[in-house]
Amino acid sequence: MIFSVHLFSKILLFNLLLLSKANDCNYKLCTKFKNCLDGQAQLFKEEIYLQCQNLNLTIRFYNFTFESNTSYDFNRFNYLSQIRIEESKLDQLIKAEQILELKNYTIKKCLLTKLDRNDYIPEKILNLDFSSNLIDQIRPDFFSKFFNLISLNLSDNKLKQIQSLNFNSLVLEYLDMSKNILEFIYELNLKQSSMIQIKLESNYNLKQLPSISANSNIIIDQLDFKNQSNLNLLFLDSLQKSKYKSISINRINISSSWFKTDRNLLMCFLNFFQVKKFSIDFKLNLNDTKNLTYCDKYNSLSLGESRLNEQSFMTQNSTKNDKKCTRYIFKKEDDYYDYKEIIGGFNLVFVIFIILLFINLKIKSLKNSENKFYY
């Protein structure tokens, strides 16, 4: 009995100490989010946060100011399972490589411009979120050390061209590169053969299907291509054909402009990747897919679920006319690039003609000036 009273007294005293320290916290709690601190645009100071850490918060900072070109060290907070910094003036990654239990690392709606120091993040990290920054550079092997990575969000940044991104995670399920200004993804090297969702919608300048490779066959559970108008994405580069053959796609979300422009090309593209289901961002009549010239597989579609401004379709299991369909894609690709060469040649001839015309007019003008001077 005496032991129980003594233990209860210790617990009560400990809680009172925590409460007194929490009251010393000079940062306000967020009204917008639960379990976070609102910096109200103040400069982040570690000594003030140390007075707040006993509030039992997962570390979530909102609207803080961090010194420019300064890498803050959060390794002393080694009890954390999450680092989350949002809508703050932060332009460098946070050092947290020694926090071995860290599962989630988020720097969102901040001022990051590049991802280069992966040594700041522990190898066992599960989820990375760098969305809504200003990132335009990523070191090719930045993500290769994260063998347990499940989710990566790079959406709403300034990525324009990606030479190479390498992953060694066997459990990667989600890769979001939507809402960038991407033109090319030259190499996307995946390790796993498990299903992955890849989001590329709203990259309006994307000119080519990303080159995806892995050490085995890849099953893309969902590929998002909404808000795209460039037909080049449906072409299969002959040099990458062998890589593409190892890819199958369960579901793809596409733009209506592709269907309206060349439905045969679109359907052959779906056929090549053995797509089981596709969704389109407008209400499509099943009769619109009848009597396709090059891809009998999609002559008979079954209606899937319907959402607001979106229609889904299930494909058939037939593989008839696969070769014919693939040849059609390559033919369309060849025709397109032949056309581009012709247009390019015409433009060059036109430019040369304009230059010669200008030179001729200049010579005539000089001669007229000389004649006037002579008289």
Domain ranges within the chain, ordered by starting residue: 21-135, 164-341
pLDDT of residue 143: 96
pLDDT of residue 118: 95
pLDDT of residue 283: 58
pLDDT tens track, the chain, 375 positions? 444 444 444 433 334 333 344 445 667 777 776 777 888 888 988 777 777 665 555 678 899 999 999 999 999 887 788 899 999 999 999 999 999 889 999 999 999 999 999 999 999 999 999 999 999 999 999 999 999 999 999 999 999 999 999 999 989 999 999 999 999 888 888 886 568 899 998 888 888 778 888 777 788 888 888 877 676 666 666 445 556 667 888 888 877 676 666 677 777 777 777 788 777 766 555 555 554 444 444 444 444 444 445 556 555 544 444 666 666 655 655 555 544 555 555 666 677 778 877 777 777 777 666 555 555
The answer to whether 179 touches 203, Cβ cutoff 8 Å, is yes
Phi and psi for 18 in degrees, rounded to 5?
-60, -40
pLDDT of residue 249: 85
pLDDT of residue 94: 94
Which string of b and e fits 16-37 if b means at least 16 CB within 10 Å?
eeeeeeeeebebeebeeeeebb
- Which of 252, 236, 244, 175 has its CA nearest to residue 214? 244
Pull the structure tokens for residue 120: 């700041």
pLDDT of residue 17: 38
* Strand partners for 153: 129, 176
pTM of the model: 0.75
